[in-house]
Structure formats: C-alpha cells, structure tokens
Structure 1
Amino acid sequence: MLVNPLLAATASPPIPEAQAWRAAYDGAFGPFVDLSQAVPGRPPHADMLEKLAEAAASAEAARYGAITGDRSLRETYAQHVSGLYGGRVRPEEIAVTAGCNQAFFVAMLALARAGEAVLLPTPWYFNHQMTLAMLGIEARPLPCDPEAGFVPDPETAEALVDERLRAIVLVTPNNPTGAVYPPEVIARFAELCRRRNLWLVIDETYRDFLPPEAGRPHELLAGETWRDNVIQLYSFSKAYGIPGHRLGALVAGAPVIAEITKVLDCLQICAPRTGQAALAWAIPALAAWRAANAEDINRRLAAFRAALAEVPEWGISSIGAYFAYLRHPFPGRRGRDVAERLAAERGVLALPGSYFGETADAHVRVAFANVEAEEIARLPERLAAFRL
C-alpha cells in the first residue's frame, strides 16, 4: 500500500545517518567528539529537577490542560517576552507547543496551503524544509551570501516574492550557520512583509545565548502592528536544559492563535504539563542561572575561535550562539564525504552543508555548545593532519 506521496518524497532525518559514522572510528585520537547535534551542554538546574519531579507526582499534571498551554506559564512567559522586547504581549497571544518544531509546523499549516510558497534562508534548518515538503508547500530558497556572514538580504528576498509566496522565515541566531541577524536587517524584513502583504515568521530558539552586549534582538514586538503579520517561535529546551520535555512557544495575534488552537487540539490536545508547571516557576527564578549558562556558551565560542585560528585552512564563515559554519579545505569535494571521513578517521562528528540545502556542499556545521572547552582545544590536532 502507498503512503502520502508528499511524505514519501520528504527526506529522512539526517542526524541518525551521521551518528552512524562514528562506528568506524578506532579511538586513535582519543575520545570521540560529537559536534553534530544542538543539545544542551549542561543538565537542568537542581531546583528545576525538583520542580519537575514535584509536578510529575501531582494528579493535576496527569490531567488534560488548556489547548494553548497552562495559564500560569502563558502569563509568566508573556511578562518575560514583554520585558525582553519592550512591548506588550498578552497571555492570549501565546500558544505553548510540544517543542519549537511543532510551533513551526502549526504556523506553516496556519499560513500556507499546498501549492503556495514560503521563503527560507539557505542554508536552512532541515526540519523546516521537511515540514514544508510534507505539507506540499514550496520551500523557496533565499540564498545567503557567505561573504555577508550568511545574513539574508531583504532586497534579494523581495526579488523572490510572487503571488504564491505567503511568508518569509527568519532564524536568528541561525541554525545551521550561527549567524545573528542585526536588528536593522530584521526591521527591513518586517517592512518588506508589511508592504508586500506577507507573514514574517521569526524563530529565536537560540536567543538566550546572545552575549549581554548584543542588546535587544529586535523591535518587532515593541509596537502594536506586529499582531497583523508577525509570528515568533521559541524553544524552552536549550535555555533550561530540558529537550526531553518537549516545550516551545508561539507568539501571534489572538486571531491567529484561535486558528492555531484548532491544529493543536488535533496534534497534542495539550502540551506536556509537567514541564509547563516547572517552567512557570523557572522563568523568573532561574534568570541568573540562564545568564551564567549564556556566559559559558560564549566562552566556548571564544575557545572555538581560538582553536580554529590554529588551522586557518578550516575557515569560519559564520559563528554565533550554538553553531559555527566552517568552509572545509577540500575544494570540489562533497561536504558529506569530508564529514564522514572526519568522523571515521579523526573522531570528530560534524554535519555536511548538504544536510542544510547547500548545493555547493562546501561547509560543515559544528555545534560547539555541547562540548567542554578542553575538548574544543584538542580540535586543531585532529584537523591539522586530516587529508582526503
């Protein structure tokens, strides 16, 4: 029997394939260094674990909750987001989802029909492209220039707008490139979307790891007009170290939330309630802990820069938050071949650019945030003598 051809044509999740490459490594260069997946490098705060255990033991967490999330979490998150962006976000303008991937899925289902199009900056996050493919929505590439640090250009985007385009997606800090989009670039995209009657969807999964001097990420939520065409996505997984609890958030105008509620009722009925209860406490209580984690991630970023300076043939095209996007030193060779051999022969696992829609396949993505600075410091030894 046949399955939905759109689903059958969608690429399989790539990370399991890459993880399998490690089986060929013989340990010659020491412990395997896994730079493939964006997983938190620290466990949750001890008090967070206690709150999770307390909530899990309650009868209330075992019951169904509100479709768009428990009121206590939505109120707390609304206050947090309002303070962060200098605007006013109401609890009714928030939907809690089972992870940020689900937030993206329901947003795309709400905004576009099969046969329409959504603009994705390339290199793109593969789950975004996979979602659009299985929904029959064109994932229209917005090429980002490596010479510009993979920051997308609004003028390039406008040239790709036609009657089928429904939305532009921005991911900042970016996965896979690590690029952090300047507030003025985000503002220009917002103006473009207002002028061309498009939705602007901004995924800020990694915003908690920007350095303090970065300031406010953007001004999108500072006024009132954002409700007409802006949707913001976020993940609680990285900042609180709880990816297994699958919790994300979507901010949008109340009319959009009403439509998204229909989708969420069919997909999840309610988001996992144990984590929701703990997060309602953690957002204000663990602010200092989150800031300390961000400092630690930025120390790892600095350590990674310093390590790669010893092997300049591996050029850093862009870096930020969790990720660095490296141009490998083997022109004409596929990034997939480079990554597979690097895992098997040097015990370092990175992901090839082809996983992220890069046709030239000249880069590999590394997720440095989940490895200690000491492991990062050993990378030059492994990379320096590597040859194809």
Structure 2
Amino acid sequence: MPPTRTQSTFVSPIVESRRWVAGAEFPPDRPLLNVSQAAPAEAPPEGLRRALADAALNDTAAHLYGPVLGNDALRQALARQISAHYQAAVGPEQVAITSGCNQAFAAAISALCGEGDEVIIPVPWYFNHKMWLDMAGVTAVPLHAGAGMLPDPAAAAALIGPRTRAIVLVTPNNPCGVEYPAGLVRAFFDLARDRGLALIVDETYRDFDSRSGAPHGLFQMPDWDRTLIHLYSFSKAYRLTGHRVGAIAAAPDAMFEMEKFLDTVTICPSQLGQAGALWGLENLQDWLAGERQEILDRRAAIEDGFPVLAAKGWRLLGCGAYFAYVAHPFDQPSEEIARKLVAEASVLMLPGSMFMPAGDPDGARQFRIAFANVDRAGIRTLFARLAAFEP
C-alpha cells in the first residue's frame, strides 16, 4: 500500500524534540534551557485578557459561528494597519482571518495548487511549510540559501518548471532569523509576476523586524494582489498562540477559493481569538513597540556574546526576530549532538537537519536557537554551556 498523506511527511520537530526531554530530570544547578520553539511563554497583557473575558461573558456571538473569512471589524482594522505600515492602500476585501498562520499557508496552497504541482521554498525551510506541501500532494522544490542565508532570485528562476505554482519567502526568516532586503523581496516579486506565479510572503515575525517602517514596497505595486499572497500572525505580537489567529492578504478572487478550504476545515476562526486580536490592534501598539525593543536587545545579546562561541569554532550564520542560526564545530551530526546537549548540558535546541531535505550535509552542521524566551542572562548561560560542551 502506498503511504498516506500524513505518512508521506516527517514528524514535527517540535513534537519530536519534546520527546527528548519527556521524563528527563535536570540538576537543580543546571535547569533545562529550552531554545527549541519560537513562541511567547507568557500570557497576554492584562488588558487583553480582560477583553477576552468580557467577550466570553457578555458577547453571545463569541460562542457562535462567524464569517468564514473572519469578522468584519477585525478585517477592517487589519487592512488599516497593513495600509499604514506599508504606506499602501489595502482594503478589507483583500484581507481574511485564519486559525493561525499555518492555516493561512495551507489555505493559500489549496487555492493555488493541484496534485503534483510544485512550490519553490527556501532552504533551510520552515518545517510546517514542507509538511503541508507533502500532505497536500505538492512537490516542495528546495531553493538553497546563499551568502548571508539569503535566497537568490536567479537560482529560483532556474527551478521554475511547467508545474511551478508559487515561490515562498519567510522574512524575517524562520529558521535563520535574517531579514530579507527590500530589493531582494522586490526581485522575487518581479520574477513571480513575470512568470505568472504567486509569491507567498510569510511575515509572521514582521513586528520584530529591526528596520523601522515598511520592510518592502510590494503593497505599493500596481495590482499587487495578482501576484502577492501575504501571511501574518497575531500569535507572536499579542501572545495569542493558543487562540490561533492568523491572516492572509490577497486578491478577492483568491479569497473566494481559500474560503472553500477554510469553511471545510474550521468553518470560522476563533471568535475569542479574533476579539483579542482586534483589542490588541486597537490598544497595544505602544506595548508591542516595547516587546520589539526587548527582542532586538536579545538579538544584540546574541551578537555581542557570540565571540565566546566563535573562539570554540562555532559560526553565527544568521540572527534576527526570534532566531539565531549557527554552525557547530564538531565531527558528529547535529541531531546526535542535539540529544547529547539535552543530557549533558541541559540545552534543548533544534538541529539544522530538521530544516533541510533528508541527507543534506549542511543540516548536519547547523542549529537553530530560538531566543524569544531567553533574556540576556539566559543567553550568557546558554553560550557558557555550549562553549564548555564537548561531545
């Protein structure tokens, strides 16, 4: 029997790595440092929690089905926010709300691709993107990062074939952290437009970009929505990971196709999650600016402290948003080292092999460090443990 769709893909690295620490005991003087997952570990601010509680207690609609593409008030508010941030004109009919950004990606792929079609994705890849393409029967065509962990439009052009339907970018990047320059993003837009492809740009971490203002000008392009499908997440900005609220910006006719998928999978996004996202958009911009500064400070701590590891042969390949991407100096492959780090250094981080095609030699040399939940002191401790580690 051929494999099922789920059997055709790998286990989520987050799920797999949790098994490494399940039941493990760590010395009191060396507690576990978990830098494996890029998600806030704290509850939303009190005001947002009160808004959620008020909706749950007093708004009957918070417990009922809502519009498949999301509530009008949130779509309108996000359209205004996108328009202001990117200095462009984006209407609510070009915006939809989804049950998390992963679902936004799945909806886009379902609207664009048929069985056996191809999508070009950057490598190292965001693993859930690859997993969904596998489960959708769509071939993921790897576009290996070049200098500075940046993808090359010319290399992408060489990968385009008759079944190619889209190119995917993630910026700031997961897993590498790098921020794609505006000119590079524009070059990919031009390539996709000229070849009749969609450009899917996942900007889950845009609220933590080190650049002020719009990171690119794609929304200012004439007929941008004929090429661009933009993905966003409220989870990282407002600590709403458990409420699953993401978003898509795209052409209304693309939304029509995505609506079929969304209606079949979840019927509508979480009403409480949408209430929280709307309150956050309307009330937490100053608070979010402070969160951004804290993440930028942790990024600086990674860069300032890395010489301790560089002296041991480690290399910093990329850094930004929630992530640092590094190369280790050891002979053993990264997955073997990752397991030893749990047992011998109380450190949990994901090996590069989890972000690469099977057998890719680069994956055996690399790690992702998710530092969003590790402050400056924790980063110093992490680097001290890694510097002292010998497999």
Q: Which moved more, 1:349-358 or 1:234-243?
A: 349-358
| Aligned residue in 1 for 2:227 | 229
Give yes or no for contact 2:122–2:145 (8 Å, CA) kept in 1: yes
| Aligned residue in 2 for 1:35 | 35
| Aligned residue in 2 for 1:340 | 339
| Aligned residue in 2 for 1:123 | 124
| Aligned residue in 2 for 1:19 | 18
Pick the aligned partner of 1:281 from 279, 282, 290: 279
**Secondary structure of residue in 2 paired with 1:140:** strand
| Aligned residue in 2 for 1:10 | 9
CA distance in 2, matches of 1:279, 1:19: 29
Give yes or no for contact 1:29–1:347 (8 Å, CA) kept in 2: no
Q: How does 1:130-279 map to 2 (within 5 A)?
A: 130-145=131-146, 148-211=147-210, 213-279=211-277
Give yes or no for contact 2:166–2:200 (8 Å, CA) kept in 1: yes
| Aligned residue in 1 for 2:372 | 369
- Measured against aligned partners, the alpha-carbon deviations of 1:287-306 in whole angstroms (never above 9, x if no partner) come to 00000000001111111222
- Indicate the percent of aligned positions where both proteins have the same amino acid: 42
Matched, 1:385 2:388: yes
Q: What is the CA distance between 1:3 and its match in structure 2? A: 8.8
Q: What is the CA distance between 1:6 and its match in structure 2? A: 2.5
Amino acid at match of 1:376: I
Q: What is the CA distance between 1:228 and its match in structure 2? A: 0.8
Compared CA separation, residues 53 and 340, structure 1 to 2 (3 A): same
| Aligned residue in 2 for 1:321 | 321
CA distance in 2, matches of 1:29, 1:240: 33
Give yes or no for contact 2:245–2:277 (8 Å, CA) kept in 1: no
CA distance in 1, matches of 2:381, 2:261: 47
- Measured against aligned partners, the alpha-carbon deviations of 1:139-198 in whole angstroms (never above 9, x if no partner) come to 0000102xx221101001001111111100000011111111000000000010111111
Q: What is the CA distance between 1:215 and its match in structure 2? A: 3.5
| Aligned residue in 1 for 2:73 | 72
CA distance in 2, matches of 1:61, 1:3: 43
CA distance in 2, matches of 1:222, 1:234: 18
Give yes or no for contact 2:94–2:252 (8 Å, CA) kept in 1: yes
How many residues are matched?
Answer: 383
- Measured against aligned partners, the alpha-carbon deviations of 1:205-239 in whole angstroms (never above 9, x if no partner) come to 0000012x443111111133211111000110000
CA distance in 2, matches of 1:4, 1:246: 30
Compared CA separation, residues 269 and 301, structure 1 to 2 (3 A): same
| Aligned residue in 2 for 1:294 | 292
Amino acid at match of 1:340: R
Give yes or no for contact 1:240–1:290 (8 Å, CA) kept in 2: yes
CA distance in 1, matches of 2:371, 2:112: 34
**Secondary structure of residue in 2 paired with 1:370:** coil
TM-score by length of 1: 0.96
Give yes or no for contact 2:85–2:213 (8 Å, CA) kept in 1: no
Q: What is the CA distance between 1:385 and its match in structure 2? A: 1.9
**Secondary structure of residue in 1 paired with 2:12:** coil
Amino acid at match of 2:6: L
CA distance in 1, matches of 2:249, 2:180: 19
CA distance in 2, matches of 1:283, 1:48: 10
CA distance in 1, matches of 2:280, 2:376: 27
Q: Which moved more, 1:70-79 or 1:6-15?
A: 6-15
CA distance in 2, matches of 1:63, 1:3: 40
Q: What is the CA distance between 1:328 and its match in structure 2? A: 0.8
**Secondary structure of residue in 2 paired with 1:6:** coil
Give yes or no for contact 2:295–2:322 (8 Å, CA) kept in 1: yes
- Measured against aligned partners, the alpha-carbon deviations of 1:85-117 in whole angstroms (never above 9, x if no partner) come to 111111111110000000000100111111110
CA distance in 1, matches of 2:213, 2:276: 28
Q: What is the root-mean-square deviation in Å for CA atoms of aligned residues?
A: 1.5
CA distance in 2, matches of 1:111, 1:335: 35
| Aligned residue in 1 for 2:112 | 111
CA distance in 2, matches of 1:335, 1:322: 20
Q: What is the CA distance between 1:21 and its match in structure 2? A: 2.1
Structure 2 gap ranges (5+)? none
Q: What is the CA distance between 1:84 and its match in structure 2? A: 0.7
Structure 1 gap ranges (5+)? none
CA distance in 2, matches of 1:265, 1:16: 27
CA distance in 1, matches of 2:45, 2:387: 37
CA distance in 2, matches of 1:114, 1:321: 34
**Secondary structure of residue in 1 paired with 2:372:** helix
CA distance in 2, matches of 1:24, 1:265: 41
CA distance in 1, matches of 2:231, 2:52: 23
Q: What is the CA distance between 1:307 and its match in structure 2? A: 2.5
Q: What is the CA distance between 1:349 and its match in structure 2? A: 0.8
